């Protein structure tokens, strides 16, 4: 009985061997100086399996991106939603565009346009609806962990933000808030999932620390300072 079982397993192994050999023969083999066709094949399959980890880097690479998500105002840290201006504003939409250069698999720089809107709560604007419309520009450095299937990363940089109070003239006159423009420091982390060499999706959280902001008269309103946090989905295209 045991002999019959062993013979059956041996026969199955021998039958499968040509299939495994054929599969191995079909896998790309990258020499020290692969041809253009091999480079193209490598890029087309770069994130399909761990065996493509030896694809050589041919950077720098230019990237374009778009993002969409949620913004909140806060104070005293990225989750201080009930402090400062965050105590009198609601969460709102956030959007943006970005262009970047990947110098290495682990290092990239991005220039970003950021936009967001946060409406003031009625208690802070009794004369009508007002809200903060943010338009800003940032330059950040990304440090990336180039793992096979997912790329976590950290980033930091500098930016400038114009945060304008919008609404009817009478509503703005009756509100405790004012517009404010100032530099800031974006800090955050993200995770990127490459779908192909050219396309990736991901998620990103950013704390935009404002420097010298003045959204209201603290003596009369009690709202002291304000920063911004955003949580976004990101689509990147590598050209």
The answer to whether residue 159 scores a pLDDT higher than 80 is yes
Name the band, by pLDDT with cuts 50, 70 and 90, for residue 147: confident
Instruction: Give residue 220's pLDDT.
Output: 57
Mean predicted lDDT score pLDDT of the chain: 80
Sign of CA dihedral 230, 231, 235, 239: positive
The boundaries of the domain holding residue 188 are: 61-238
Q: Are residues 29 and 100 in the same domain?
A: no
- Give the dihedral sign, CA 44/107/206/172: negative
Lowest mean pLDDT among 2-6, 35-39, 223-227: 2-6
**In terms of pLDDT, which residue wins out, 4 or 164?**
164
Q: Which among 148, 227, 235 is positioned nearest to 188, based on CA atoms? A: 227
pLDDT at 21: 44
Cα gap 88→97, rounded to integer Å: 28
Percentage of residues in the chain having pLDDT higher than 90: 46
* pLDDT score of 126: 77
118 phi and psi, to 5 degrees?
-135, 115
170 with 88, same domain?
yes
Q: For 198-233, how does the pLDDT look when each residue is reduced to its tens digit (9 = 90+)?
A: 899 999 999 999 998 888 765 555 666 789 999 999
Q: Are strands 130-144 and 107-119 parallel, antiparallel or unpaired?
A: antiparallel
Statement: residue 28 has pLDDT above 90:
no
The backbone region for 14, taken as left when phi is positive above 0, alpha when psi lies in -120 to 50, beta otherwise, is alpha
pLDDT value of position 127: 78
Greater model confidence, 79 or 168: 168
Do 81 and 108 reside in the same domain of the chain? Answer: yes
Looking at residue 31, its pLDDT comes to: 44
**CATH number of the domain bearing residue 67:** 2.40.160.20
Are 48 and 112 within one domain?
no
Q: What is the pLDDT of residue 148?
A: 80
**Residue 25 shares a structural domain with residue 138:** no
187 and 216 within one domain: yes
Claim to verify: residue 22 and residue 91 sit in the same structural domain: no
Whether 23 and 68 share a structural domain: no
Specify whether 14 is located in the same domain as 103: no
Higher pLDDT, 204 or 197: 204
Judge if 177 and 230 occupy the same domain: yes
Structure tokens at 34: 């692969």
**Cα separation, 115 vs 110, whole angstroms:** 16
The model's pLDDT over 43-89, given as tens digits with 9 standing for 90+, comes to 666 554 444 455 677 779 999 999 999 999 988 777 776 777 878 88
- Alpha carbon distance 147, 168 (integer Å): 51
- Secondary structure (H, E, C), the chain: CHHHHHHHHHHHHHHHHHHHHHHHHHCCCCCCCCCHHHHHHHHHCCCCCHHHCCCCCCCCEEEEEEEEEEEEEECCCCCCCCCHHHHHECCEEEEEEEEEEEEECCEEEEEEEEEEEEEECHHHCCCCCEEEEEEEEEEEEEEECCCCCCEEEEEEEEEEEEEEEEECHHHHHCCCECCEEEEEEEEEEEEEEECCCCEEEEEEEEEEEECCCCCECHHHHCCCCCEEEEEEEEEEEEC
As a whole number of angstroms, the distance between CA 208 and CA 21 comes to 54
Say what the pLDDT of residue 151 is: 93
38 and 132 co-located in one domain: no
Residue 133 pLDDT: 95
How many domains does the chain fold into? 2
Amino acid 85: pLDDT: 83
Q: Do both 38 and 108 map to the same domain?
A: no
pLDDT at 36: 61
Nearest to 194 by CA among 143, 233, 149, 147: 149
């Amino acid at each position: 009985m045991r002999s019959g079982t062993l013979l059956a397993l041996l026969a199955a192994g021998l039958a499968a061997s040509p299939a495994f050999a054929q599969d191995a023969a079909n896998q790309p083999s990258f020499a020290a100086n692969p041809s253009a066709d091999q480079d193209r094949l490598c890029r087309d399959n770069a994130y399909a399996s761990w065996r493509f980890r030896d694809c050589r880097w041919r950077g720098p690479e230019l990237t374009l991106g778009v993002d969409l998500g949620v913004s909140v105002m806060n104070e005293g840290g990225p989750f201080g939603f009930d402090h400062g201006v965050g105590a009198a504003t609601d969460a709102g939409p956030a959007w943006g565009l970005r262009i970047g250069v990947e110098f290495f698999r682990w290092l990239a720089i991005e220039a970003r346009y950021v936009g967001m809107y946060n409406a003031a709560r009625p208690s802070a604007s009794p004369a009508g609806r007002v809200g903060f419309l943010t338009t800003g520009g940032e330059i950040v450095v990304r440090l990336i962990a180039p793992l096979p299937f997912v790329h976590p990363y950290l980033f930091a940089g500098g930016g400038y933000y114009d945060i304008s109070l919008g609404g009817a003239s009478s509503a703005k006159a009756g509100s405790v808030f004012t517009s404010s423009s100032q530099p800031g420091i974006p800090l955050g982390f993200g995770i990127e999932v490459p779908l192909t060499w050219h396309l990736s999706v991901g998620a990103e959280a950013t704390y935009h620390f404002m420097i010298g902001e003045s959204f209201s008269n603290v003596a009369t309103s009690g709202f002291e300072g304000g920063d911004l946090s955003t949580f976004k989905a990101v689509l990147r295209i590598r050209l």
